[in-house]
Structure 1
Amino acid sequence: MKKILILITAVFLFGCNEKTYTVEDFKNNKELLDEYRKKCENGEIDGDSLNCQNSHKAIISKNRVGNASWN
């Protein structure tokens, strides 16, 4: 009985996790990036979450490329 309870708890905890997006996912989808930046900034999602970190990295990466001098 304990094993079944542990299994059900594990499935519930791991099954409810939000999809994790990569930095590339955010760089390639501005709407997704904007959505997650808003969620991260207003506290809807923990700022230490991987999605918040990756969305922040995507912004930094885009700014570096956008500000690069190719001369």
Structure 2
Amino acid sequence: MKKILMLITALFLFGCDRTYTVEEFKNDEKLTDEYQKKCQNGEIDGDSLNCQNSRKAVVVRNKVSNASWN
């Protein structure tokens, strides 16, 4: 019974992390930097949706800043 309770608790604690969209990451550079650091140092699984979305936001932000407006 203790094992089941511990498993449920662990799933609750690890499953409650909010998932941010690419748009949210694009609009909040501080949030993007925070998640990039967490993803790179292994604090968060690099394959998580937040890591993927933060990487996409960085790519989109870099494309816009490197665009030629001639």
Q: Secondary structure at the match of 2:60?
A: helix
- String of CA shifts for 1:35-70, please: whole Å, max 9, x gaps: 100000000000000000000000000000000111
Greater shift, 15-24 or 32-41, is seen at 15-24
Which structure has the larger Rg?
1
Aligned length: 63
Consecutive aligned runs of 4 or more in structure 1 exceeding 4 Å deviation: none
CA distance in 2, matches of 1:44, 1:34: 14
User: Is 1:19 the equivalent of 2:21?
Assistant: no
TM-score normalized with structure 2 length: 0.79
Unmatched tracts of structure 1, length 5 or more:
none
CA distance in 1, matches of 2:10, 2:38: 23
